[in-house]
Amino acid sequence: PSPALSFALVNAVAVLIIACPCAMGLATPTSIMVGTGRAAQMGVLLRKGEALQQLKDAKVVAVDKTGTLTKGRPELTDLVLAAGFERASVLAQVAAVEDRSEHPIARAIVDAAKAEGLHIPAVQAFASVTGFGVRAEVDGAKVEIGADRFMRELGLNVDDFAAESGRLGDEGKTPLYAAIDGKLAAMIAVADPIKDTTQPAIDALHALGLKVVMITGDNRRTGEAIAKLLGIDEVVADGKVDAVQRLKKEYGTLAYVGDGINDAPALAEADVGIAIGTGTDIAIEAADVVLMSGDLGGVPNAIALSKATMANIGQNLFWAFAYNVALIPVAAGLLYPFNGTLLSPVFAAGAMALSSVFVLSNALRLKRFKAPL
């Protein structure tokens, strides 16, 4: 009706105000900002924004053993010698080689040799054999140290130590083998205590419906003993990158948790790499998420926060779209032919501001997020 131009102008202004995409523009970034801030308060540093979204979709969490599930400060507990070898000589030579390694198990062997007052000789031609062990020359003798698969690679039979190895594995100890000048010289066992926070973290991950897999470069039997103790679903004692690739194909989105130099390739290969903050710099650099607390408890917290944040974003987007879908037709005059109702631009502006306030308020609810641990 007349004045048609006035009605049209008022309705056009109301439609423009209602259609202002403020709420939609705020829906995602505000939730992410509050979510990452809450993560930081919980000791979880999200180095990449995509990690917050991908953690929600994780189906399996793969974890390194040494330094992640355990304290990473193992102690030498057993040294079983082959016939014809002396303890002091073997331990000194093994400690000399391991002194060049940064692995926690290596430090335990070196500390044990020093505690017994043994002289640690110099080494030459030190080399690390990825996934197997280390080798070097000590006082003219070739010394090679590693897991049972390394000895088999060298053509040495470890069956003579089978009984002792089984006993040590059942006790959760890690048996290593030392070969000197091509002869199997000794079996070395170390024990690494499990962190107090590990069991609650595994239980929390299971409560979130996730499968937990241990990937270890140590002896499989040792890994299975620890896995049984903690209730871990599966143990993989193969190459870590290959294991990550297989688990991704088998289960889907995978998060890998590690702390060492040898974990860096697996952290980069995983959908979400999670580094223990007390670990090596290269592991932290390769990861998407860093747990500043230094224990596994941050993993279920980060995953639960990811789920809460993505749900919060969904709520915000639903409100922003529903608000536009419901009010744009009203602002355009849909109700006028029926009951003469028109939406004033003043009320349209108020409704638009209210939608933004709702989105912000909903996002701020994440500040009250309660972590599982």
Q: Are 272 and 55 in contact (CB under 8 A)?
A: yes
- Asked about 64 being catalytic, the answer comes back as yes
Specify the DSSP element, H or E, that contains 365.
none
- Which of the following is catalytic: 57, 64, 160, 181? 64
What is the amino acid identity at position 63? V
Neighbouring residues of 338: CB distance < 8 A, sequence distance ≥ 6: none
Helix axes 220-230, 162-170, angle to 10 degrees: 20
Token digits of residue 200 = 């609650």
159 DSSP 8-state letter: G
Backbone φ, ψ for residue 347 (5° rounding): -70, -35
Residue 189, classed as helix, strand or coil, is strand
- Residue 145's alpha-carbon distances to 109, 151, 162, in angstroms, are 12, 8, 17
Per DSSP, what are the bridge partners of residue 124?
137
What is the amino acid identity at position 281? D
Rounded to 10 degrees, the C-alpha dihedral 81/86/90/92 comes to: 140
**What does the alpha-carbon distance between residue 240 and residue 261 come to, in Å, rounded to a whole number?**
12
Specify the DSSP element, H or E, that contains 131.
none
Specify the DSSP element, H or E, that contains 178.
strand 174-180
Q: Are 314 and 330 in contact (CB under 8 A)?
A: no
Active-site residue numbers?
64
